[in-house]
């Protein structure tokens, strides 16, 4: 397999997620499970969740594959299908938005490919926005304890990982509810589409004017 592919995230492709997030079920653990220290990674449970979401809503994300390996992935779902969606301090997610659970890539370029591809797919499903709970540059739970300092610990505790706020703002999200450690951010897909359409229309108009303008003498 060569070249780039964008693959829907389904039960059959969860094992292709980037290694740090493969089998991650932190967002799926209810408060009782978290208290009982139930496993934070479970391939079968993630596959079951992906199958349920795909059946009830559609594939919960996508993977960007380059030359046979996953270079980026993004996981999203309606908050009603995410057990811990309402726990962060800046909850709830807006009624017209889906929740971003995971965004991981090997480079900034692939991050943008993943977000742009997701935007196109969600617009086809008539989704208006994506929201996410931001976090510090170092997100507990995804790194070894030695790599996390006490000042980096956010709310809620480490069993819920979140995408760093700086990464989200870098791909177009804006903060809609401030919080010192857990802001809620939003990417309005209608605005993204409008900007794209306006630019496309302007270019087409310019090309048409060039094509029909009388030749200079």
pTM, rounded to two decimals? 0.80
Residue 158 token pair: 């480490």
pLDDT of residue 147: 37
Nearest to 123 by CA among 144, 96, 143: 96
Nearby residues of 92 by Cβ (< 8 Å), 6 or more positions away: 79, 85, 86
pLDDT of residue 202: 42
List alpha helices for the chain, DSSP H: 31-35, 43-56, 108-124, 165-170, 189-212
Are 193 and 136 in contact by the 8 Å Cβ rule? The answer is no
Mean pLDDT in consecutive groups of 10 residues from the start of the chain, 217 residues: 86 92 88 77 96 98 95 96 92 97 90 93 95 77 41 43 87 93 92 48 48 51
pLDDT of residue 29: 86
pLDDT of residue 38: 76
Distance CA 167, CA 108 (A): 9
pLDDT of residue 153: 38
Distance CA 108, CA 125 (A): 26
Distance CA 186, CA 189 (A): 9
pLDDT of residue 34: 72
Residue 173 token pair: 């999200």
Distance CA 24, CA 60 (A): 14
pLDDT of residue 152: 38
Which class for 149: exposed (0-12), middle (13-18), buried (19 or more C-beta within 10 A)? exposed
Are 168 and 132 in contact by the 8 Å Cβ rule? The answer is yes
């Amino acid at each position: 397999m060569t070249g780039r592919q964008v693959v829907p995230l389904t039960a059959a492709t969860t094992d292709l997620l980037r290694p740090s997030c493969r089998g991650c079920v932190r967002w799926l653990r209810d408060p009782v499970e978290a208290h009982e220290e139930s496993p934070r990674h479970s391939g079968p449970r993630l596959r079951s969740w992906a199958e349920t979401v795909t059946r009830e809503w559609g594939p919960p994300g996508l993977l960007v594959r380059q030359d046979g390996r996953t270079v980026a992935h993004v996981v999203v779902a309606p908050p009603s299908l995410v057990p811990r969606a309402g726990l962060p301090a800046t909850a709830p997610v807006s009624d017209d938005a889906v929740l971003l659970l995971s965004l991981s890539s090997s480079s900034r370029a692939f991050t943008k490919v993943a977000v742009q591809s997701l935007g196109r797919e969600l617009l086809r499903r008539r989704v208006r926005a994506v929201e996410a709970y931001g976090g510090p540059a170092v997100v507990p739970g995804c790194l070894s304890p030695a790599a996390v300092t006490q000042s980096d610990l956010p709310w809620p505790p480490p069993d819920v990982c979140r995408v760093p706020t700086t990464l989200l703002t870098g791909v177009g999200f804006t903060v809609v509810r401030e919080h010192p450690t857990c802001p809620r951010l939003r990417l309005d897909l209608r605005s993204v589409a409008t900007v794209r359409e306006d630019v496309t229309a302007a270019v087409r108009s310019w090309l048409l004017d060039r094509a029909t303008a009388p030749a200079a003498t």
